[in-house]
Amino acid sequence: MNIIAILNHLGVFFKEEPIHQLQASLESKGFQVVYPVDVQDLLKLIEKNPRVTGVIFDWDKYSLGLCKEIHDRNEKLPIFAFANDQSTLDIHLADLRLNVHFFEYRLGMADDIALKMGQATQDYQDTILPPFTKALFKYVEEGKYTFCTPGHMGGTAFQMSPAGSIFYDFYGPNAFKADVSISMPELGSLLDHSGPHKEAEEYIARTFNADRSYIVTNGTSTANKIVGMFSAPAGSTVLVDRNCHKSLTHLMMMSDVTPIYFRPTRNAYGILGGIPQSEFLPETIHAKVAATPGAKMPRYAVITNSTYDGLLYNTGFIKENLETPFIHFDSAWVPYTNFSPIYEGKCGMSGDAIPGKVVYETQSTHKLLAAFSQGSMIHIKGEVEEETFNEAFMMHTSTSPQYGIVASTEIAAAMMRGNTGKRLIKDSIDRAISFRKEIKYLREQSEGWFFDVWQPDNIDSVECWKLDPKDAWHGFKDIDDNHMYLDPIKVTLLTPGMGSDGQLLGSGIPASLVSKFLDERGIVVEKTGPYNLLFLFSIGIDQSKAMQLLRALTEFKRAYDLNLSIKKMLPALYNEAPHFYEGMRIQELAQAIHELTIKYRLPELMFKAFDVLPEMKMTPHAAWQQELAGNVEEVPLQQMVGRVSANMILPYPPGVPLVLPGEVVTDASRPVLDFLQMLCDIGAHYPGFETDIHGLYRQADGSYTVKVLR
């Protein structure tokens, strides 16, 4: 439904009557006409209702000032100004590049004017829709009849079956009509980068400040492999952030490369820190190359930016100092950095190209912008051999890509353009900051305990807050100045139990309890650490969702303070093991898990587990080949010391690999094993608290095994 807003409170008959006639004409053309009460109301309407496709007002009364206000909200929105013969045109109008159309107040002209407005609305929608999406919609509207794949034929096949019909009705016709085969020449090709697909990539590159962009329809998991495969030929050495996503471990299993690692820090809360500046310097890298059998000077480096917990790097430092010709920022979590000035200098595509270097940024569009799952982008600044790059791209791409994913990825870019996009990000940032302040306020007002926020004491300025070496709040020791910054939209809440120095206190509330409580209320926490919870304030989080979260947190506190039973407070957990949880109360459970944490010295163990790396005996690629050849056996977790791990072992949280294929846990890296054992033990004590650990196999008796090479 298209909406036209009319700002018209004149009480002047010769002006009002033509407007009434116009309203009737517009309505007959299918527009909804609304009357905001004043300018503020109109501006709010434009902000809150993206279906407004035009504004009508009286030029004698409002003119240029109002145009500017509208422009700040949506510079493309058609403005229809009515003027009488005496109206003057402001000469600055041309400077503003406004989309203004002028009409005169005259009776009997309504149909004509409405027709022009209809055209202007069409033109407006045409400008804001990106090229591929437009071509796809046009194709669907034409309703061509094809004899190609997909076999459902625009949904027809589903409707020939009872189960299929239910499925069809759920999604609705357009989902199927727009799922078309790749053999439509008018839509071009994702794999050949032709036609509207090519236009979409160019549009995305312009939007994200890249020289070249690619749409990837199988997530950043795939985008990372494309970039890595192209940049690191067999036999080369790669520099990999040890806090990497598992897709990069898979890259190293697929490609015959030798890894050396950037060593990030980690604080006592278990929050992943950044990679210190020294790790990017040639001396450090030379030393690591010298110490690693088979390693050469690396050609390719990959860094997770931002970290899972929302820390962004000063990327300028990395780009300038890191000597590898290919520098890849895995920015799966931050596809929005190009749309707010607070991220300037903290992302891959910031600034100009660096001669002799190629900078990549891979982003999961679907994670924090609005796109279908798996929508992802690769952005490139610098020169790459395009045909070869495309071979790597095609190697990882289906020959039947889902056009719905392509279109939604392109739409995500369209949404972020111009003033409407800037406002979306700004609103997310503002909402996250006010949520942070609200938690602080509730903490001050609360009797007894309340949640805390992991952030600087002063968050009044809207920016990414620097991790200052002089400050204590972040819990990192000996960090570099002007190096890492906290993204305001990644909100980490802290539960009681741990001091900022990482010492465990006498009593505590493990975050997993809060997380389970929220889950039962339909609020899914992004990540749960020992005493911290991560929430993402993406553009889809509106004020009501933020308030619901606040409410649920205060409810948790109330229920905890009342010491409700597990049965009442966490029914889903209770149902997992009714005998075990019968009669148990929340404070008892919280304290018991807290004491286990103390007993195992969790923070210290977690810190150490990631501090001493296991030893690389062979490359991940070589270990994987051994596994494929069947040279593996399963042994109990405790017998893993001294054996070469076949798999990557990766606990959630923190969601980064602890042991990579081909690595040996030695006596020096024994904390790795102790840490894993502790996670298993906590799960064994309390049903419902099992940690999800990739690479460990749970046996019927509750013990765990691992795969090692024979």
Cβ closest to ligand PLP, residue 63 vs residue 362: 362
Of 222-241, which residues contact ligand PLP (CB under 6 A)? 224
220 binds ligand PLP (CB under 6 A): yes
Q: Which long-range contacts (CB under 8 A, 24 or more apart) does 181-184 make?
A: 181/146, 181/148, 181/149, 181/150, 181/400, 182/399, 182/400, 182/401, 183/148, 183/149, 184/139, 184/146
**What are the CA-CA distances from residue 204 to residues 215, 222, 339 (Å)?**
9, 18, 13
We find the least distance from the C-beta atom of residue 649 to ligand PLP, in angstroms, to be: 18
Instruction: Locate all alpha helices (DSSP H) within 520-669, ordered by sequence.
Output: 543-561, 566-569, 571-576, 578-581, 586-599, 602-611, 620-628
Q: CA-CA distance, 10 to 212, in Å (whole number)?
A: 52
- Answer for which of 332, 412, 504, 525 binds ligand PLP (CB under 6 A) is 332
Residue 391: CB minimum distance to ligand PLP, A? 21
Which span (57-65, 73-81, 218-226, 631-639) binds ligand PLP, by CB under 6 A? 218-226
Q: What b/e string do you get for 584-600 counting C-beta neighbours within 10 Å, with b at 16 or more?
A: ebbeebbbebbebbeeb
Q: How far apart (Å, rounded) are the C-alpha atoms in residues 190 and 399? A: 9
In the bound state with ligand PLP, the residue whose beta carbon lies nearer, of 238 and 498, is 238
Considering only residues 366-385, where is the footprint of ligand PLP by CB under 6 A? 376
Using the minimum distance from each CB to ligand PLP, give the nearer residue, 3 or 216: 216
Q: Which residues contact 522 (CB under 8 A, 6 or more apart)?
A: none
Among 231, 237, 304, 669, binds ligand PLP (CB under 6 A): 304
Interface map 408-447 toward ligand PLP (x if CB under 6 A): ----------------------------------------
Cβ neighbours of residue 319 under 8 Å, at least 6 residues apart?
327, 351, 354, 357, 359
Q: Give the tokens for residue 160.
A: 């020939």
Task: Write the CB contacts of 523 (distance below 8 Å, at least 6 apart in sequence).
Answer: 548, 549, 552
Looking at the Cβ atoms of 220 and 258, the one nearer to ligand PLP is: 220
Q: Which of 390, 212, 385, 233 is nearest to 299 (CA)?
A: 233
Spatial separation of the C-alpha atoms in residues 288 and 296, rounded to whole Å:
10
Contact 362, 337 (CB under 8 A): no
Residue 310 C-beta: closest distance to ligand PLP, Å: 12
The piece of 283-291, 327-335, 467-475, 581-589 that touches ligand PLP (CB under 6 A) is 327-335
Site for ligand PLP in 90-119 (CB under 6 A): none
C-alpha closest to that of 360 among 382, 345, 340: 382
Q: Closest separation between CB of residue 429 and ligand PLP, Å?
A: 20
What minimum distance in Å lies between the beta carbon of 364 and ligand PLP?
Answer: 4
Residue 329 in the binding site for ligand PLP (CB under 6 A): no
Write down the least CB distance from residue 223 to ligand PLP, Å: 7
Closest to ligand PLP by CB, 213 or 247: 247
- From 187-195, 326-334, 483-491, 598-606, span contacting ligand PLP (CB under 6 A): 326-334
The contacts of residue 171 (CB under 8 Å, 6+ apart) are: none
Q: Which segment (330-338, 441-449, 523-531, 616-624) binds ligand PLP by CB under 6 A?
A: 330-338
Q: Closest CB to ligand PLP among 330 and 361? A: 330
Q: Which is nearer to ligand PLP, 221 or 267 (CB)?
A: 221
Least Å distance between CB 240 and ligand PLP?
12
Number of residues in contact with ligand PLP under rule CB under 6 A: 12
CB distance 188 to 401 below 8 Å? no
Angle at 202 between CA 198 and CA 203, to 5 degrees: 115
Nearer to ligand PLP, 219 or 274 (CB): 219
Q: Tell the smallest beta-carbon distance from residue 406 to ligand PLP (Å).
A: 15
Name the one residue in this structure whose structure tokens are 């989902």: 175
Q: Does 487 bind ligand PLP (CB under 6 A)?
A: no
List all residues 6 or more positions away from 638 whose beta carbon is below 8 Å from its beta carbon: 673, 677
Nearer to ligand PLP, 243 or 428 (CB): 243
Q: What is the x/- site pattern for ligand PLP, positions 246-265, by CB under 6 A?
A: -x------------------
CB 346 to ligand PLP: min, Å: 16
For the CB of residue 609, give the shortest distance to ligand PLP in the complex, in Å.
20
The correct pick among 71, 245, 436, 483 for binding ligand PLP (CB under 6 A) is: 245
Interface residue with ligand PLP among 63, 74, 221, 645 (CB under 6 A) is: 221
Neighbours of 421 (CB within 10 A): 21
Query: Hey, is 291 helix, strand or coil?
Result: helix
Can you tell me which of 330, 361, 627, 663 binds ligand PLP, judged by CB under 6 A? Answer: 330
130, 219, 529, 620: which one binds ligand PLP (CB under 6 A): 219
636, 703 contact by CB (below 8 A) = yes
Structure-token match 């977690």, residue found: 606
Minimal distance, residue 362 CB to ligand PLP, in Å: 7
Identify the three-state secondary structure at position 26. helix
Q: Which amino acid, 60?
A: D
Instruction: Determine if 557 is a binding residue for ligand PLP (CB under 6 A).
Output: no
Contact window for ligand PLP (CB under 6 A) among 74-82, 141-149, 216-224, 560-568: 216-224
- Return the range that interacts with ligand PLP (CB under 6 A); candidates 98-106, 261-269, 329-337, 699-707: 329-337
The burial of 280, by beta-carbon neighbours within 10 Å (0-12 exposed, 13-18 middle, 19 or more buried), is given as buried
Radius of gyration in angstroms for the set of CA atoms belonging to the chain, rounded to a whole number: 29
Place of tokens 């071979």: 391
Length of the chain: 710
Residue whose Cβ sits closest to ligand PLP: 219
CB of 650 to ligand PLP, least distance (A): 12
Residues interacting with ligand PLP, by CB under 6 A? 219-221, 224, 245, 247, 304, 330, 332-333, 364, 376
